[in-house]
Amino acid sequence: MKKICVTGAYGFIGKSMCKVLIDSNKNVLGLVRTLDPSFNLTNVEYKSVGNISSKIDYKNLLLGSDCVIHCAGKVPEMHKKDELDIYLEINTKSTKYLAEQAVQAGVSRLIFLSSVSVFGNDTDRVEYDIIEKNYNNKKFSYKDIPKPKNSYAKSKFEAEKLLWEISARTGLEVVVVRIPLVYGQGVKGNLLRLMKLINYNIPLPLGSVKNKRSLIGIDNLVNVLNRCIDHPNAAGKTFLVSDGEDLSTPQLLNYIASAKGRTIRHFPFPTGLLKFASIILQKKDEMNKLIGSFQIDNEYACKTLNWKPPVSVQEGIRRMVQDK
């Protein structure tokens, strides 16, 4: 029976990852910052490692593990300073240190959760659709060259490059999985705020928003990560994963409202004015996430791994809403 180590095992993704590994009859080691029995899952061995840094002694903890799924890391936080050195310490240097000690401990494969934000902040490219005879946002694919713009994205891309260097030098099998916005049971951040907003039944000025964003439900994400553990075609690859159904912000809100047994009203309002207002209010990044497009092509991951997202978007959203 394989032993899998999950970093960030108490986190949104890490906890769900541990659950699916247990259901797959794997031995699971969960690394967490501080032990809290109230968060513990049955049949998971938890170890405390303190704050994420490049000074953690991973080697002895990883002895006997076959694969590491690296979920831990620093994610962007609204209204906080974008400090590159902090992101590099937590997301880049500590990842390098983890990989090097994983090699020393005899780990054969490391799966790294990266982000589609390595491509930039939005899909600001267009292409002409000869069938539909119109211009559409061009989806990012695994072949596209990353152009990270913020500190978080830069730290993730730098970590990717270091992992490929370690892999070439040591033979460690590396799998990089770049993920978009993840939703599902236990979600926090912007999605949680949107879910609460719907409860107030306030008409929203999003009727003119025609954006498209790629998402992935937590159950689909942990499903594909589980497949990457021992799939022979996964090693040495970089995958972009999503549900395969891109949504506009109004569509997403409608799905959430429907799952809550509610309806939501959108009234038309010029998107240009929304963008202008966001600049005046210094909320440009938040508005871009709300009305901008960011699409990725998951075809390479689906074909290479013989994978199909098992949970539909509507079902994934229903599970997220019912969990609240």
Catalytic positions, written as ranges: 152
* Per-residue CA distances from 255 to 58, 62, 190, 198 (Å): 42, 42, 16, 11
Task: Yes or no: say if 233 and 175 are a contact pair by the CB < 8 Å rule.
Answer: no
Euclidean distance between CA atoms 36 and 292, whole angstroms: 39
Euclidean distance between CA atoms 157 and 146, whole angstroms: 8
**Under 8 Å CB-to-CB from 203, ≥6 apart: which residues?**
265, 266, 267
**3-class DSSP assignment, residue 8:** coil
Query: b/e map of 111-142 (b: 16 or more CB within 10 Å)?
Result: bbbbbbbbbbbbbeeeeeeeeeeeeebbbbeb
Single out the residue of 188, 322, 197, 187 nearest to residue 249, CA to CA: 197
Euclidean distance between CA atoms 121 and 291, whole angstroms: 12
* Per-residue CA distances from 290 to 182, 226, 248, 277, 284 (Å): 15, 31, 9, 13, 10
Euclidean distance between CA atoms 109 and 105, whole angstroms: 11
**Under 8 Å CB-to-CB from 144, ≥6 apart: which residues?**
119
Distance between first and last Cα of the chain: 35
**DSSP H or E run through 13:** helix 12-23
Please tell me what DSSP assigns to residue 55: T
